[in-house]
Amino acid sequence: MLVAAALGLGCGRGGLTIDGGGRGDSSDAPEVGADVTGPDELLACSDAVVGGDGAIVPGPQTCGGDVSVAGGTPFGPFIARNVSSIIGWGDCPRLMLFLDDGESTSGFTGIWLTVNLPYDDPLKAPAGTIRVDGSLYALPSPTTSVTRTVPVTIEITGADPLFEANGRVPRAAEGDAGTPGHIAGTIDVDTGCGHLTGTFAVPYCRAIACVGPPP
């Protein structure tokens, strides 16, 4: 399932199980045939500039969230239109954020960013400033994707704990039980061709349990 690879679950496709809230639909990520890091010309910074300031536009990935993030990338200008989140648990304890430009409704052909926020205690809310590496993706063709690792700084402005008080039920909007939680913050991504900056606010949309060796 590509969502696992794209979001960096790191538990192998064969070892990934999904709870009742994660139904395995294909809307989370595109189907591609190979992950590569070329061609090199796609990594050259474009002279194009992003128009506007990253309008808040709802889309199929938003899960009730809002996003206003824009900037330049090696793959061209980026204006986020969708934001979603997934709680990883089991052998992959992390909160995964997913931003994309949602340019195509018939088949995703745009640019997207994934960020994994690790957590030590599922009963504590994410807080403070978090600096991690993210992954910036683009699809130059239906069977090829290109990626670049990018440094990401996220400042949490509001968040709920990831799990219910019993520590066993993720607070996901599409989960079997429990009260949905949310996260909001600002983001700054150094893409090598400028910065993606802006704000996001999104519920904890889904939960995925990984079974396998830790990443």
* Highest mean pLDDT of the ranges 37-41, 47-51, 101-105, 210-214: 210-214
* Residue 2 pLDDT: 32
The answer to whether 150 and 192 have CB atoms below 8 angstroms apart is yes
Number of H helices, E strands in the chain: 1, 12
* Residue 143 pLDDT: 72
Continuous H helices in the chain: 2-6
End-to-end CA distance of the chain: 17
Percent of the chain surpassing pLDDT 90 = 38
Show Cβ contacts of residue 99 under 8 Å, excluding neighbours closer than 6 positions: 67, 69, 80, 82, 83, 112, 113, 200
- The residue with greater pLDDT, 174 or 139, is 139
Rounded to an integer, what distance in angstroms lies between the CA atom of residue 6 and that of residue 13?
Answer: 11
Rounded to an integer, what distance in angstroms lies between the CA atom of residue 82 and that of residue 203?
Answer: 12
Percent of the chain surpassing pLDDT 70 = 63
Confidence check: pLDDT of 191 > 90? yes
Q: Tokens 């496709």 map to which residue? A: 13
* Residue 176 pLDDT: 56
Which tokens belong to 33?
């045939």
- Binned at pLDDT 50, 70 and 90, residue 46 comes out as low
Q: What is the mean pLDDT of the chain?
A: 73
Taking CA atoms, 212 is separated from 9, 90, 117, 126, in Å, by 10, 9, 19, 25
Over residues 70-91, mean pLDDT:
90
Provide the CA 5 distance to its chain's centre, in angstroms: 12
* Highest mean pLDDT of the ranges 13-17, 22-26, 132-136: 132-136
Here the contacts of 110-113 (C-beta below 8 Å, separation 24 or greater) are 110/138, 110/139, 111/73, 111/75, 111/76, 111/78, 111/136, 111/137, 111/138, 112/6, 112/29, 112/136, 112/137, 112/138, 113/78, 113/80, 113/137, 113/150, 113/189, 113/196
Confidence check: pLDDT of 215 > 90? no
Q: Tokens 């709870």 map to which residue? A: 19
* Residue 43 pLDDT: 58
